Amino acid sequence: MAAARPAGSTVTKIDPGTGKAVGSPFGVGAGAVPTGIAVGGGSVWVAVNRGRSLEVVELGPEVGEPRNEIVVDRSSTTTSSSSSSSSEPVLLPYGAGSLWALEVGTGQVWRIDPKTSTKTLLTEGVDAWSIAYGDPFVWLGGQTGVTRLDPRTRKTRSVPLALGFSPSKALAIGPDAVWFVASGERFLFRIEPSARGYTKFDVARGASANAVNDHDVWVANNIDGSVARVDPETGAVASIPHGNTPGGIVSSSGLLWTTPGEPVAPS
């Protein structure tokens, strides 16, 4: 398991059994900011913001063995010539042998072939603050709803959602649905793979991130300071006090991992 630390410009390997760091952090360069991380194809992939360029750094599974660097020149695209694009975070999932990169702010989505370092701009200007890959589609979650992107045809289909202002959004892919949360809402949204409808579950305030494992969907609530477990078959919701305000959640190695956040203020 690997974790990126933007403030320190490093990537760290974490032992899932102990929760402790393994070895020394891998530095991505002074002034560079790792904003996205993915695991797949026998490598760890890190999206690194270097201002005018985006670099996807390939690391070996030990997280310290640099293998390759793929550069995406932002100035070559039509909407990213403004200076504001140089500071936008880039999110990075892996799936179907490819990397899928989203630049938050410009709404640009690229397909990156790790074998040939070929970069293909699939779309731009889409409302997207989160990204996930569920074969064969790329899913994008934004302030106005969820968008399904077909990378073969570059066509999109949107699922509009009436959302309050939400500083964070997150997507998770399940075996028969796409799950979306936005921190301005208290709902977990179940999006149909056809992108023609949705259902929602009340999971408490500040649903900031979600994860799917073999049996359940899990939601981190950064206002209530809890983690909600949702049964995707019955819709039953169980709340587990966290003590802090978790901002992110990941299911890995049979365990759930959350960012620690800040202690919950007394009500």
Residue type, 82: S
Neighbours of 244 (CB within 10 A): 16
Residue type, 64: G
First to last CA, the chain: 35
Token match 């809402």: residue? 185
Q: What are phi and psi of 259, to 5 degrees?
A: -70, 145
pLDDT for 30 equals: 63
* Sheet strands side by side (includes 145-149): 130-134, 137-141, 145-149, 156-160
Round to whole Å and give the CA distance between 227 and 203: 9
Round to whole Å and give the CA distance between 150 and 136: 7
Question: Which token pair is 125?
Answer: 């200007």
Reference 86, options 54, 62, 120; nearest CA is 54
Question: Which token pair is 79?
Answer: 């909407």
Identify whether the C-beta of residue 232 lies closer than 8 Å to the C-beta of residue 217.
Answer: yes
pLDDT for 77 equals: 47
Query: What DSSP designation does 265 have?
Result: P
pLDDT for 4 equals: 61
pLDDT for 83 equals: 40
Count of residues making up the chain:
267
Identify whether the C-beta of residue 242 lies closer than 8 Å to the C-beta of residue 255.
Answer: no
Averaged pLDDT in 10-residue chunks for the chain of 267 residues: 61 73 71 86 90 83 83 56 58 96 92 94 95 97 96 97 90 96 94 95 92 93 91 92 85 81 55
DSSP-derived secondary structure for 88-130 = --EE--EETTEEEEEETTTTEEEEEETTTTEEEEEE-S---SE
Round to whole Å and give the CA distance between 134 and 94: 10
pLDDT for 224 equals: 85
Identify whether the C-beta of residue 183 lies closer than 8 Å to the C-beta of residue 208.
Answer: yes
Round to whole Å and give the CA distance between 156 and 239: 35
Round to whole Å and give the CA distance between 93 and 39: 8
Round to whole Å and give the CA distance between 46 and 143: 25
Q: What are phi and psi of 8, to 5 degrees?
A: -100, 0
DSSP-derived secondary structure for 199-232 = EEEE--S-EEEEEE-SS-EEEEETTTTEEEEE-T
